[in-house]
Structure 1
Amino acid sequence: MIRAGEFHNGAIFDDAGNILEIIWFQHHKPGKGGAMVRTKIKNLLTGAITERSFSPSDKFRTVEVLKRKKTFLYAEGESLQFMDMESYEQMAIDKKKLGLACEFLCENMEVQGIYIDGNLITVELPKKVTLAVASTVPGVKGDSVSNMTKPATLETGVEIKVPLFIEEGEKVVVSTETGEYIERA
């Protein structure tokens, strides 16, 4: 059992049959009334992310999680195909369960498969990935002083904002959690 007052980032628990993961939490003590724990949680079964508040004394069942290395093979319709690195077994996951993260998957990318009760629930991408810029408009000379950005399409097809100095063919590091440019690779 885990109490809401003991939450930490990455904690996984069961709330009325929903398997939830803490993405972000904050202990909050207002001037009046009791303390509360504000959270941003991800439902691992549906992929939905919501914000919710709990009383610090609320108790939940902890869930045993097994992580195994997987390799992304290919996308087929609304499903993504992965291969287990130990057993070489292939399995599919619905794109909706990954949310924004599926936009950053490249063939042969290594990810962590999340198993709960022996079932593959979702996969976890690295916090940041390096991708090539497939297309972008040229930057205008003289704009290098300001923090201007321009749209760029990456090799996976996702469009992000990058600084003006980034050109086609360059590799950039992108956060898989926020989808934002971090740095030039």
Structure 2
Amino acid sequence: MRVYKSNNFRIGCKIIFEKEPCLIESSEFVKPGKGQAFVRVKLKKLLKNQLIEKTFKSTDSLEIADILECKLSYLYNDGNFWYFIDDNTFEDFSIEKKIVGSSAKWLLEQDTCIVTFWNNKPIFITPNIFVELKVVDTRVTLKGEAINASTKLAKLSTGAIVKVPLFIQVGSFIKVDTRSGEYISRIK
């Protein structure tokens, strides 16, 4: 069993804490005037996507998590499983709907994404930061409504709904930030 000593905790380290894989978001070594030194750490629980703060003694250690991030291409889905392929090894993966979760609305066929594995099982998917999608439906804005509003809702080709400026029409291609779900720009 490989371990990290608490004085070696660095941002980006992947550890096992409370029998779950965690990512260290921040780490601060503190040596008070009196008493024992300690490390103040912010951990992101990868299974629950939960952020917690924890303090460790300088003598503590935690097991290194067997986390692997692979760049895979999305192929298709059948409603229950999403299918991916590794372009280098041509190994294919089927991932359950609950693991894909809200990332599904940003996945386009043949697009790449990062799939995170723990003990050779997928635990979550990170889509590309920016995606270019087609607007398939939007509400027509009347002149009187334009005075009170600067945005409207648009449905995209993947089913995602985002706020867009009033000048965006059906058939337009837009760039969206997948982290926040915000409109970035129109693609010409």
TM-score calculated relative to the size of structure 2: 0.73
Structural mapping, 1:25-174, within 5 Å: 25=26, 36-38=40-42, 41-44=44-47, 48-55=48-55, 57=57, 59-141=61-143, 148-174=150-176
The 1:102/1:42 distance shift into structure 2, 3 A limit, reads farther
Answer with 1 or 2: which has the greater Rg.
2
Unaligned runs of 5+ in 2: 31-37
- The C-alpha deviation readout for 1:99-140, integer Å capped at 9, x for no partner, is 321211111111233344444444332111111111111344
Whether the aligned pair in 1 keeps the contact of 2:82 and 2:100 (CA below 8 Å) is no
How far apart are 1:63 and its partner, in Å?
Answer: 2.7
The 1:25/1:165 distance shift into structure 2, 3 A limit, reads farther
> What residue identity is the alignment partner of 1:49?
N
TM-score calculated relative to the size of structure 1: 0.74
- The C-alpha deviation readout for 1:36-94, integer Å capped at 9, x for no partner, is 5445x2424xxx22232211546432335433331111112222111111222221112
How far apart are 1:3 and its partner, in Å?
Answer: 3.6
The 1:119/1:72 distance shift into structure 2, 3 A limit, reads same
Secondary structure, in 3 states, of the residue corresponding to 1:55? strand
Q: State the distance in 2 between where 1:141 and 1:14 align.
A: 57
How far apart are 1:156 and its partner, in Å?
Answer: 0.3
Secondary structure, in 3 states, of the residue corresponding to 2:185? strand
Aligned-residue Cα RMSD (Å) equals 3.2
Q: State the distance in 2 between where 1:5 and 1:169 align.
A: 52
Q: State the distance in 2 between where 1:171 and 1:96 align.
A: 28
Which deviates more, 10-19 or 60-69? 60-69
Secondary structure, in 3 states, of the residue corresponding to 1:100? helix
> What residue identity is the alignment partner of 1:124?
T
Q: State the distance in 1 between where 2:165 and 2:27 align.
A: 32
Secondary structure, in 3 states, of the residue corresponding to 2:102? helix
How far apart are 1:25 and its partner, in Å?
Answer: 5.0
Aligned to 2:15: 13
Aligned to 2:33: none
Unaligned runs of 5+ in 1: none
How far apart are 1:164 and its partner, in Å?
Answer: 1.6
Whether the aligned pair in 2 keeps the contact of 1:2 and 1:62 (CA below 8 Å) is no
How far apart are 1:141 and its partner, in Å?
Answer: 4.4
Which deviates more, 71-80 or 151-160? 71-80
Identity over aligned pairs, percent = 27
Whether the aligned pair in 2 keeps the contact of 1:111 and 1:125 (CA below 8 Å) is yes
